[in-house]
Chains A and B, each alone.
Chain A
Amino acid sequence: MKINLKNAVAMGLLATVIGVTGCSKESPSTDNSQDGAAQNASAPEAKEKVKVDFWSIWDPSQGNGKLMADAVKKFNDANPDVEVVMSGQGGYDGVAEKLEAALVAKNTPVIAQIEESFLGRYNPIAADLSKYMSQSTIDNYIEGLTRSSFADGVFKAAPMNRSTPILYMNADLVKAAGLDPAGPKTWTELQEYAKKLTDPAKGIYGFSGYWDSDAWYWESAVYSYGGEMVNKDGSQVAFDNEKGSSIVKLFQDMIKDKTMLNAYSAQENQSDLIKQNFLDGKVAMDFDSIGSMGQLINNTKFNVSVAYQPQEGGKNSMVTGGANAIIIDKATEEQKKAAGKFLDFLSQDENVVSFFEQTGYLPTTKSALETPELKKWLQEKPQFKVAIDQLQFAHSRPWSKNWKAIYTSNVEFMKSALIDTSKDPKQVVHDAAVAAQKIIDENK
């Protein structure tokens, strides 16, 4: 057997690489210049910085997360004694999953950005924000955005990136059909609008909508019919009635008479499908989130107008969505104070306005609406004004620690009613309610 030079060289290389990577592991956090999140609290200052871990739904290096990371940096620069460390946790579900692991490991962050409806679950570990934020900030939040922020009268969740569903209209088509440009006020009117806007010859559908992955739009519509998701303490399902099934029936009827484009006729991403048809002028009205506004205004050749989400029975009522910030009560008093200061900072006019303008998420404070900059902006893009005004009718989200499981179950049922429009809507909603009640009973 002769000595294999190649193998010897390979083994040598192997050893070298191990040595090299071993060294580079010693200083894992030195090459972070591009992310702005300066770290290593090893600065030889006399006073230790208060480190505030902030778990975000966004990756701090890009998109909305980058805007947030810039705000974090500004705050850290202005407050030398505090260091907020933002980290992305992979979206709403990612934050929830990691919080779960962190609760077991007992190393929770100080601030967590959670989906609005998750406070029902995280309430026991959420701190009373009025102790750590200034009262003027809390009073300054637009009231409609804080309806899901209170637990037993205590303010626990500060609005961050928030949205609400509205009705988008192709204003040119509405005008051509001789309809009131203000748009339909009720769901019945919406059905009439859709009939008049539909033009099979041109392949135009009057309306389209879908439920979203958390059945958010269904939930919203149920409120607009005067319905509820669960009772006050979250122990009973409350949508097993006409109010819960009306919107399903309406959508089914409109699909059957071909005045509504059925997003569930295709498996493709429903939201993209509707949006693309709306942009093409093939769907005249689109029930969608305010978050889509920027894209819809910027990519259309026609005028886009918006209206409140329709209602039935005389009272507007709809959901809001997006994320709120909570401070975890297990953090030290110093950390919680610093975290409160950071949330105060995020709610300063300048930050609220720039975040709104760049992301399309709703402005969160009343004083921001009064700034000349925002006033001018809203004059140029009055469509956003409608969504902000609509917030006065915002409905609180379901108070249940099991809401995540329930909506995951609900959306399957609601989807099935549109995939197969011959299904009895009352039966579908009843089945959904039974399944939801079972989830509640099993996980008390």
Chain B
Amino acid sequence: MCMVNKIIRNPYILIAPAIILVSVFSLYPILFAVRVSFMNWDTVLGTKEYVGFKNYINIFKDPVFWMVLRNTLIFAFFTVVIGIVLAFVIGIFLQKNRLSDNLVQSIIFTPNILSAVSVTVMWMWLMDPNVGILNFVLKWFGLPTLKWMMSPETSLMSIIIVSIWKGLGYNVMIVIAGLQSIPRYIYEAAKLDKAGRWTTLFRITLPLLSPTLFFLLITSIISSFSAFDVVSLMTKGGPENSSNLIVYWIYQIGFLQFNIGKASAGSILFMIMVSIIAVINYAFFNKKVHYQ
């Protein structure tokens, strides 16, 4: 037991398995992509040649890349902000272990479990320009109807809505896990001090929840930048690339155009971009996060 204790006390041994695995299955693929990004590689002919920064230059010269980048930024901003604010509000409402709360929380969570196909089919139907329920609701409010995923003006908005909807249950669950870990005695103490509801919310709940919200922020940003399924299943990036996002675009270059060099260069740019955004957030918010 003493031996075990000694081993476990050593932090390097504690992190070793994770570090080894991440090196093999994440770091290696990244290094692989870095190397390929400087190549012109025809996999069928088996010919490779180093071409320097040509793949990167081609990407920067490609107007579709800039369009996709813009789409991705818009997509990420709205899904992250709306997704977290809604999750916080709903989490506060549903945190008790009442039957109704649990039921509603389970229902919100179902989009994460359901097959992508059934979710897709349902949204196609809800957003149908002629008989869809959403247009029906718009009409009912006297608003003009939309073409949703079928028009370049609204396709990006459509996939933003679907993404928020799909990810909400997941965010709520994390918020609730955070709320559950706030010790009850703190609330009891607040009650004794006759703190009002809003004071409790802003002075106790929010600060104590900040590590959770911070975590949610970072992971939401990263996952919204990496969005793939919603594009691939709902719009295929169309019409006219209006809903194309960066990972789907990289995929298209790699597996429709079979240009593995350019796709790798795109991947590297993508990872640099996401890392920078994540690090900025980390630096900015980590100081404000309140740990007990």
Q: A100: which of B43, B45, B130, B149 is its contact (CB, 8 Å)? A: B43
Query: Are B148 and A267 in contact, CB atoms less than 8 angstroms apart?
Result: yes
Given contacts A122-B44, A267-B124, A405-B252, contact A100 B239 (CB under 8 A): no
Query: Are B257 and A402 in contact, CB atoms less than 8 angstroms apart?
Result: yes
Not counting A93-B255, A100-B258, A265-B130, a sample of 19 additional A-B residue pairs whose C-beta atoms are within 8 angstroms of each other reads: A96-B255, A97-B255, A100-B255, A104-B43, A124-B45, A266-B128, A266-B131, A267-B125, A267-B150, A269-B121, A404-B258, A408-B252, A412-B236, A413-B240, A415-B238, A419-B151, A439-B257, A442-B58, A443-B259
CA distance A264 to B151 in the complex (A): 12
Contacts of B147 in A (CB 8 A): 419
The reply to whether the CB of A268 lies closer than 8 angstroms to some CB of chain B is yes
**Please, what's the 1-or-0 string for A67-102, where 1 marks a CB less than 8 Å from any CB in chain B?**
000000000000000000000000001001100100
The reply to whether the CB of B256 lies closer than 8 angstroms to some CB of chain A is yes
24 A-B interface contacts by CB (under 8 A): A100-B43, A100-B254, A104-B43, A104-B260, A121-B258, A124-B44, A266-B129, A266-B131, A267-B127, A267-B128, A267-B149, A268-B124, A268-B128, A269-B124, A401-B44, A404-B258, A405-B258, A412-B238, A415-B238, A416-B240, A419-B147, A419-B151, A420-B151, A439-B257
The reply to whether the CB of A38 lies closer than 8 angstroms to some CB of chain B is no
Query: Are B258 and A401 in contact, CB atoms less than 8 angstroms apart?
Result: yes
A113, chain B: closest CB distance, angstroms: 17
Q: B258: which of A264, A416, A443 is its contact (CB, 8 Å)? A: A443
**Chain B contact residue count (CB 8 A cutoff):** 31
The reply to whether the CB of A103 lies closer than 8 angstroms to some CB of chain B is yes
The reply to whether the CB of A125 lies closer than 8 angstroms to some CB of chain B is yes
A-side interface residues toward B, CB under 8 Å?
A: 93, 96-97, 100, 103-104, 121-122, 124-125, 264-269, 401-402, 404-405, 408, 412-413, 415-416, 419-420, 439, 442-443
Q: Which residues of B237-264 are within 8 A (CB) of A?
A: 238-240, 252, 254-260
Contacts of B240 in A (CB 8 A): 412-413, 416
B47, chain A: closest CB distance, angstroms: 10
B134, chain A: closest CB distance, angstroms: 11
B-side interface residues toward A, CB under 8 Å?
A: 43-46, 58, 121, 124-125, 127-132, 147-151, 236, 238-240, 252, 254-260
Q: Which residue of A lies closest to B158 (CB)?
A: A267
Q: A268: which of B58, B125, B256 is its contact (CB, 8 Å)? A: B125
Q: How many pairs of residues, A versus B, come closer than 8 Å at their CB atoms? A: 76
Query: Are B44 and A121 in contact, CB atoms less than 8 angstroms apart?
Result: yes
Q: Which residue of B lies closest to A97 (CB)?
A: B255
Contacts of A404 in B (CB 8 A): 256, 258
Q: Which residue of A lies closest to B44 (CB)?
A: A124
Q: A405: which of B129, B132, B256, B260 is its contact (CB, 8 Å)? A: B256
Q: Which residue of B lies closest to A106 (CB)?
A: B46
Q: B236: which of A96, A267, A408, A419 is its contact (CB, 8 Å)? A: A408
Query: Are A103 and B124 in contact, CB atoms less than 8 angstroms apart?
Result: no
Query: Are B259 and A266 in contact, CB atoms less than 8 angstroms apart?
Result: no
CA distance A97 to B149 in the complex (A): 27
Contacts of A97 in B (CB 8 A): 255
A42, chain B: closest CB distance, angstroms: 29
Query: Are A443 and B238 in contact, CB atoms less than 8 angstroms apart?
Result: no
Q: Which residue of B lies closest to A126 (CB)?
A: B44
B154, chain A: closest CB distance, angstroms: 12
Contacts of B58 in A (CB 8 A): 442
A7, chain B: closest CB distance, angstroms: 16
Given contacts A267-B128, A419-B147, contact A412 B43 (CB under 8 A): no
Contacts of B124 in A (CB 8 A): 267-269
Contacts of B121 in A (CB 8 A): 268-269
Query: Are A266 and B130 in contact, CB atoms less than 8 angstroms apart?
Result: yes
Q: Which residue of A lies closest to B127 (CB)?
A: A267
Query: Are B239 and A416 in contact, CB atoms less than 8 angstroms apart?
Result: yes
Q: Closest 5 A-B residue pairs measured CB to CB?
A: A405-B256, A267-B124, A103-B43, A405-B257, A412-B238
B18, chain A: closest CB distance, angstroms: 17
CA distance A267 to B149 in the complex (A): 8
CA distance A443 to B45 in the complex (A): 13
A128, chain B: closest CB distance, angstroms: 16
Contacts of A96 in B (CB 8 A): 255
A436, chain B: closest CB distance, angstroms: 12
Contacts of A443 in B (CB 8 A): 257-259
Query: Are A265 and B239 in contact, CB atoms less than 8 angstroms apart?
Result: no
Contacts of A442 in B (CB 8 A): 58, 257, 259
Contacts of B128 in A (CB 8 A): 266-268
B48, chain A: closest CB distance, angstroms: 10
Contacts of A125 in B (CB 8 A): 44
Q: Which residue of B lies closest to A409 (CB)?
A: B256
Q: Which residue of B lies closest to A264 (CB)?
A: B150
Contacts of B43 in A (CB 8 A): 100, 103-104
A174, chain B: closest CB distance, angstroms: 28
Contacts of A93 in B (CB 8 A): 255
Given contacts A268-B124, A416-B239, A419-B150, contact A408 B256 (CB under 8 A): yes
Contacts of A100 in B (CB 8 A): 43, 254-255, 258, 260
Contacts of A266 in B (CB 8 A): 128-131
CA distance A442 to B259 in the complex (A): 9
Q: Which residue of A lies closest to B256 (CB)?
A: A405
B24, chain A: closest CB distance, angstroms: 16
CA distance A103 to B258 in the complex (A): 12
CA distance A401 to B259 in the complex (A): 11
A59, chain B: closest CB distance, angstroms: 15
B135, chain A: closest CB distance, angstroms: 11
Contacts of B130 in A (CB 8 A): 265-266
Contacts of B125 in A (CB 8 A): 267-268
Contacts of B252 in A (CB 8 A): 405, 408
